[in-house]
């Protein structure tokens, strides 16, 4: 009987361990300068990318994140990739960002952009960007969309991404 319980507990531990990605600092790609990061916005291949600029301190960003995360599952059979670009502060990567990624089971690729001289690079992301977050860029080698807004549903995202993938 006791043996059975132990087996069940062990099984539970293993499965939860498999489901939850254990984020560590090594799992993040950390860029000190925008110059190093810039190619992420201009990859020339067959994949459609959704690039979301966010931070754990940004309320609307955190609210829309589950909808964006859902896209990974929705498009798992397509050439699609989500890239979350965190603008969290350098001192809060270990104390805030990594615990957040673990708590919310984030499955997207996560990049940290530390370049603090934002006036030098906001226009290079998109000259329509005011500097407020969240923003989302959807692009592939055919076309590109810039959105300074918060998403409130998965449907909104699917409609946009479909126009990139099914054309």
Partner 1 sequence: MNKLLFIGIMAAGLFLSAFTTLHNGYHIGDTAADFSLKNVDGKMVSLSDYDDAKGYIVTFTCNHCPYAVMYEDRLIELHNTYAPKGYPVVAINPNDPAANAEDGFPEMQERAEQKGFPFAYLFDDGQKIYPKYGATKTPHVFLLDSNRKVKYIGAIDDSPRDADAVEVKYLEDAITALENGKNPDPATTKAIGCSIKTVK
Residues in touch with partner 1 (CB under 8 A): 57-60, 87, 89-90, 116-120, 122-123, 128-134, 148, 150
- Cα(98)–Cα(73) distance, rounded to whole angstroms? 22
Of 137, 128, 131, 133, whose CA–CA distance to 38 is shortest? 137
Least separation in angstroms between residue 39's CB and partner 1 is 21
Instruction: Specify the residue, 59 or 66, whose C-beta has the smaller distance to partner 1.
Output: 59
CA-atom Rg of the chain in angstroms: 18
Instruction: Specify the residue, 17 or 131, whose C-beta has the smaller distance to partner 1.
Output: 131
Instruction: Specify the residue, 73 or 127, whose C-beta has the smaller distance to partner 1.
Output: 127
Least separation in angstroms between residue 135's CB and partner 1 is 10
Structural contact between residues 158 and 74, judged by C-beta atoms closer than 8 angstroms: yes
Paired tokens of 101: 């990624």
Least separation in angstroms between residue 139's CB and partner 1 is 19
């Amino acid at each position: 009987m006791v043996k059975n319980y132990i087996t069940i507990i062990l099984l539970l531990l293993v499965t939860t361990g498999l489901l939850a990605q254990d984020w560590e600092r090594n799992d993040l790609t950390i860029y000190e300068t925008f110059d190093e990061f810039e190619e992420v916005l201009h990859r020339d291949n067959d994949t459609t990318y959704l690039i979301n600029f966010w931070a754990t301190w940004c309320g609307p960003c955190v609210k829309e994140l589950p909808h964006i995360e859902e896209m990974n599952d929705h498009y798992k059979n397509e050439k699609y990739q989500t890239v979350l670009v965190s603008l969290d502060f350098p001192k809060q990567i270990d104390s805030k960002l990594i615990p957040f990624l673990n708590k919310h089971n984030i499955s997207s690729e996560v990049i940290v952009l530390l370049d603090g001289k934002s006036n030098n690079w906001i226009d290079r992301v998109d000259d329509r960007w005011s500097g407020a977050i969240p923003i989302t860029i959807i692009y592939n080698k055919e076309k590109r969309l810039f959105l300074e807004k918060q998403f409130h549903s998965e449907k909104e995202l699917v409609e946009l991404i479909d126009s990139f993938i099914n054309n």
